[in-house]
């Protein structure tokens, strides 16, 4: 398994919570998702990734930092770190808090928004949320931009995902039931494709972890640490594998990733252990061995240092 796939798998993505919105210009909404409000659909999740998919019309989005995007039909924008943002036909009109205009459906029906600021251009948008676990210190989340845009690109490898996603969104917008489960899985795949496309695009302003893929030595080192995590790595041994001296490899890690190689490995071992504790019934000693610790005691000390509680306590909290 490559490093990117390993990190994405550990996020435990869960799709759900859909809202169909109909708007008439001029309109502007202020949006910030609260994980607690998604519990009914996503369960207990520590992080949500909102997204908007445009079915009809044109929509502008502005982040708190001032960055603006304009989206058209078939385009999606995702917010990996759940950054607050404005969305509307124009962003110079007073913004309304989205929570104040959402109409919750009865008996499990989807929520809706019908917001007509005037009789201008119409827009249809399906909004959803992905639940994600264990994003604290997740290198992908930290390295992504605040808004991740995925435009329609016919003929690309992920075209079937977007075609199916569009069909499910149309069914949801039309009020047909039965498409929610399909859209849940497709939204997970859509996020993964968006991340992969961003990581592979030479024009992307990649930083942090994703920038390491542009350096063949770092990319090889990350692949080794993720696929052979349990090995007793040293900086010297890793440097020999990738063709760099100990000092050169350490310097590149710090420059691009912000931490030395062995600290990166230690952080990721705990991250993967947390994933296993929450998603499997494996005994704690087995998990400790799986992520590279020689004893349960050393693993427990490291886990508590990183996560604030012992492994068994952390597992009980997550499963509870």
- Predicted pLDDT at 235: 97
Q: What is the mean pLDDT of the chain?
A: 85
- Predicted pLDDT at 171: 75
Per-residue pLDDT tens over the stretch 28-83: 999 998 877 766 666 667 788 999 989 899 999 999 989 999 999 988 999 999 99
Where are the chain's structural domains? 3-200, 215-319
Does the structure show a pLDDT above 80 at 262?
A: yes
Per-residue pLDDT tens over the stretch 209-229: 888 877 889 989 999 999 899
The CATH class of the 215-319 domain is: mainly alpha
108: pLDDT confidence band, cut at 50, 70 and 90? low
- Predicted pLDDT at 282: 93
- For residue 62, the SS3 value is strand
What does the buried/exposed string (b/e) look like for 22-46 if buried means 16 or more CB atoms within 10 Å of the residue's CB? bbbbbbbbbbebebeebeebbeebe
Q: What is the mean pLDDT of residues 154-165?
A: 65
SS3 content of the chain, % helix, strand, coil (to 5): 45, 20, 35
Choice between 115 and 210, residue whose per-residue pLDDT is larger: 115
The CATH number for 3-200, chosen from 2.60.120.10, 2.40.50.100, 1.10.287.180, 3.40.50.300, is 2.60.120.10
Identify which of 108, 116, 132 has the alpha carbon closest to the alpha carbon of residue 29: 116
Choice between 38 and 148, residue whose per-residue pLDDT is larger: 148
Choice between 201 and 211, residue whose per-residue pLDDT is larger: 211
**Shared fold status for 3-200 and 215-319:** no
What does the buried/exposed string (b/e) look like for 157-184 if buried means 16 or more CB atoms within 10 Å of the residue's CB? ebeebbebbbebbebbbeeeeebbebbb
- Please check whether residue 133 is in contact with residue 9, taking contact to mean a CB–CB distance below 8 angstroms: no
Q: How many of the other CB atoms lie within 10 Å of CB of 220?
A: 17
- Predicted pLDDT at 1: 46
């Amino acid at each position: 398994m490559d490093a990117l796939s390993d990190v994405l798998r550990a996020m435990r993505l869960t799709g759900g919570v859909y809202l169909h919105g109909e708007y008439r210009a001029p309109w502007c909404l202020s949006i910030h998702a609260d994980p607690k409000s998604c519990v009914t659909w996503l369960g207990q999740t520590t992080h949500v990734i909102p997204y908007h998919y445009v079915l009809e019309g044109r929509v502008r989005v502005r982040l708190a930092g001032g960055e603006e995007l304009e989206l058209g039909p078939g385009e999606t924008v995702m917010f990996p770190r759940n950054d607050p943002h404005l969305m509307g036909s124009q962003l110079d009109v007073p913004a309304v808090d989205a929570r104040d205009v959402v109409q919750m459906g009865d008996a499990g029906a989807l929520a809706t928004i019908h917001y007509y600021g005037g009789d201008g251009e119409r827009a249809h948008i399906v909004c959803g949320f992905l639940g994600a676990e264990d994003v604290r210190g997740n290198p992908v989340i930290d390295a992504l931009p605040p808004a991740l845009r995925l435009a329609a690109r016919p003929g690309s490898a992920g075209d079937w995902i977007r075609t199916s996603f569009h069909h499910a969104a149309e069914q949801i917008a039309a009020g047909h039931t039965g498409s929610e489960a399909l859209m849940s899985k497709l939204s997970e795949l859509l996020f993964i494709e968006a991340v992969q496309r961003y990581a592979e695009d030479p024009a992307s302003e990649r930083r942090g972890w994703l920038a390491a893929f542009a350096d063949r030595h770092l990319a090889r080192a990350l692949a080794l640490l993720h696929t052979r995590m349990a090995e007793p790595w040293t900086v010297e041994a890793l440097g020999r594998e990738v063709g760099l001296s100990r000092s050169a490899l350490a310097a590149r890690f710090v420059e691009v990733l912000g931490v030395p190689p062995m600290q990166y490995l230690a952080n990721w071992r705990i991250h993967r252990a947390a994933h296993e504790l929450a998603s499997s019934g494996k005994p704690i000693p087995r998990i400790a061995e799986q992520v590279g610790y020689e004893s349960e005691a050393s693993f427990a000390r490291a886990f508590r240092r990183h996560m604030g509680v012992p492994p068994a306590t952390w597992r009980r909290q997550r499963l509870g």
